C-alpha cells in the first residue's frame, strides 16, 4: 500500500467517520501527488494493463477515418477542436493525426485539446504529439467553445468514480470505507442520501449491489454543454453493459492481475463497468442525442478494420524476409482478434456517440 495515500485516506476517515466510495476512488487514482495515474506509465506489457490503442495502430487508424468523415460532414471547418479525454500515452491521438496527414487541410484545421489529470502522462503525451500544437486542460469546461469539436474518450469513463447502493431491511444503503482493526481499510454500509437514490433504475431488487455514477453524469453534463455550444460530436469507448442491472463491477488491476481494491491503493488501477443505458438516459434528459449502443467489435468492423488488416498484411508480405513477414502477420492477426473477437474485447467493450446536431451521421452505428 502507498504509505502517504494510506495516511491521507485514514485522516479523512478519522475526521468524517467514513469515506464515500467515489471519494476513495478519485483519491486513489487522481490524488495530485500520490494518485495512481500520477506515477506515469501504467500502460503496456510492462505496466498494469493494455488498452486498445496500445494493442494495435489499426485501432487509432480506423478511429482517425471516423474523425475525418465527421470533419467532412461538418463541411471541413478551418478550425476544429479535436479533444481527447484521458489520452494515456497519446498513442490514439498520434495515430489519428498520422491518418489525417493524407487528407488535405485536415492537420492544419486541428487544435488538439487534451483533458488529462496526470502531469507525468502529460509529459508522455507532449512527446508523442511533438509535431502538433497541443493544449492541456483539467476539465472539458475549460475548452473554448468557439470552434466545432470532436471529442474522444477511450477507457476514460471507467476511471470516473462510482457509488454502490444496496437495499436491505434498513432501506437503501451506500458502500463506504472505514478503518479495520489492523489499520487497514474495509467496506461497510451507511444510509444512502436521496441524490444517489434518484440515480437508481426504476425497478430494483433487494440485497443486490447497484452502481451509480454522479461523476460520469457530471462529466456528461459538461460534455453536452460543450457539444451544444460548438456543434460537436463525442465518441466514448469503454467496457460496460447495455441494459442497467445489478452487480458489483468495481475492480483493481496491478501488473495484469486483479487485486483487492482496498490494498495496493495508488499502485493499482481501479475501474468499473459503464452502465450505458443509464448514461444514454442522462444524455437524453440533458437534451443531447445519443446513438444506439454498439459493440466495439461491430463498430471497428463497420469502420473497416479488417480491410485495414489486409492492406497492412499485403505491405508486410512485400519484404524479402519471409520468416519475419510471417511473424509480423501473425502479430497483426492476433491484435485485431483481440480488438474485435467476441470472446476478447469485441463484445465486452461498447461504443456510443453523443451529439447535439441531427445533421451529422457518425459512421459505425
Ligand atoms: N485513453 C488511454 C488511457 C486510458 S487510462 C488509452 O486508451 O490508452 C485513463 C486515462 O484517463 C489516463 O490518461 C488518466 O490519467 C486519465 N484520467 C483519469 N481520471 C481522470 C480525470 N478525472 N480527469 C482527467 N483525466 C483523467
Ligand 1 centroid vs 359 CA: distance in angstroms?
A: 30
pLDDT of residue 131: 96
The preferred substitution site among 32, 117, 268 for testing ligand 1, maximizing ligand atoms within 8 Å of CB, is: 117
- The yes-or-no verdict on residue 181 having pLDDT over 60 is yes
The preferred substitution site among 156, 266, 268, 272 for testing ligand 1, maximizing ligand atoms within 8 Å of CB, is: 156
Atom of ligand 1 nearest to the CA of 30: 19
Residues with CB under 6 A from ligand 1: 29-30, 37, 43, 51, 53-54, 86-88, 92, 115-118, 121, 154-156, 159
Ligand 1 centroid vs 85 CA: distance in angstroms?
A: 7
Using one digit for the tens of pLDDT, what is the confidence trace for 56-87? 999 999 999 999 999 999 999 999 999 999 99
Three-state SS letters, the chain: CCHHHHHHHHHHHHHHCCEEHHHHHHHHHHCCCCCHHHHCCCECCCCCECCHHHHCHHHHHHHHHHHHHHHHHCCCCCCEEEEEECCCCCHHHHHHHHHHCCCCCHHHHEEEEEECCCHHHHHHHHHHCCCCCEEEECCHHHCCCCCCEEEEEECCHHHCCCEEEEEECCEEEEEEEEECCCCCEEEEEEECCHHHHCCCCCCCCCCCCEEECHHHHHHHHHHHHHHHHHCCEEEEEEEEECCCCCCCCCEEEECCEEECCCCCCCCCEEECCEEHHHHHHHHHHCCCEECCCEEHHHHHHHCCHHHHHHHHHHHHHCCCCHHHHHHHHHHHHHHHHHHHCCCCHHHHEEEEEEECCCCCCCCCC
pLDDT of residue 183: 84
Ligand 1 centroid vs 86 CA: distance in angstroms?
A: 3
pLDDT of residue 2: 55
CA nearest ligand 1 atom 19, residue:
159
- The yes-or-no verdict on residue 337 having pLDDT over 90 is yes
pLDDT of residue 47: 80
pTM score, whole prediction: 0.96
Ligand 1 centroid vs 3 CA: distance in angstroms?
A: 23
Amino acid at each position: 500500500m502507498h504509505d502517504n495515500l494510506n495516511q491521507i485516506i485514514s485522516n479523512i476517515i478519522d475526521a468524517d467517520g467514513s469515506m464515500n466510495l467515489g471519494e476513495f476512488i478519485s483519491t486513489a487514482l487522481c490524488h495530485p501527488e500520490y494518485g495512481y495515474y500520477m506515477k506515469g506509465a501504467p500502460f503496456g506489457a510492462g505496466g498494469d494493463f493494455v488498452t486498445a490503442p496500445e494493442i494495435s495502430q489499426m485501432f487509432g487508424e480506423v478511429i482517425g477515418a471516423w474523425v475525418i468523415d465527421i470533419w467532412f460532414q461538418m463541411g471541413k471547418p478551418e478550425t476544429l477542436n479535436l479533444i481527447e479525454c484521458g489520452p494515456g500515452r497519446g498513442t490514439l491521438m498520434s495515430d489519428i493525426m498520422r491518418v489525417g496527414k493524407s487528407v488535405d487541410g485536415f492537420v492544419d484545421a486541428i487544435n488538439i485539446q487534451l483533458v488529462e489529470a496526470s502531469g507525468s502522462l502529460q509529459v508522455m503525451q507532449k512527446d508523442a504529439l511533438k509535431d502538433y500544437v497541443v493544449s492541456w486542460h483539467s476539465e472539458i469546461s475549460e475548452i473554448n467553445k468557439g470552434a466545432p469539436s470532436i471529442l474522444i474518450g477511450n477507457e476514460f469513463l471507467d476511471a470516473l468514480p462510482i457509488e454502490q447502493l444496496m437495499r436491505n431491511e434498513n432501506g437503501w444503503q451506500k458502500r463506504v470505507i472505514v478503518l479495520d482493526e489492523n489499520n487497514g481499510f474495509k467496506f461497510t454500509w451507511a444510509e444512502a442520501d436521496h441524490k444517489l437514490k434518484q440515480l437508481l433504475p426504476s425497478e430494483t431488487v433487494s440485497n443486490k449491489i447497484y452502481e451509480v455514477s454522479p461523476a460520469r453524469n457530471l462529466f456528461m453534463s459538461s460534455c453536452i454543454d460543450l457539444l451544444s455550444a460548438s456543434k460537436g460530436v463525442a465518441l466514448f469507448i469503454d467496457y460496460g453493459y447495455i441494459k442497467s442491472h445489478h452487480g458489483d463491477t468495481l475492480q483493481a488491476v496491478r501488473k495484469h492481475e486483479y487485486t483487492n481494491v482496498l490494498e495496493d491503493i495508488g499502485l493499482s488501477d481501479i475501474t468499473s463497468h459503464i452502465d450505458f443505458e443509464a448514461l444514454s438516459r442522462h444524455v437524453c434528459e440533458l437534451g443531447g442525442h445519443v446513438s444506439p449502443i454498439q459493440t466495439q467489435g461491430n463498430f471497428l468492423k463497420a469502420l473497416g478494420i479488417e480491410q485495414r488488416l489486409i492492406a497492412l498484411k499485403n505491405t508486410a508480405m512485400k519484404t524479402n524476409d519471409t520468416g519475419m513477414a510471417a511473424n509480423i502477420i501473425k502479430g497483426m492477426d492476433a491484435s485485431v482478434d483481440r480488438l474485435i473477437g467476441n470472446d476478447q474485447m469485441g463484445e465486452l467493450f461498447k461504443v456510443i456517440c453523443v451529439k447535439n446536431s441531427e445533421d451529422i451521421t457518425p459512421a459505425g452505428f
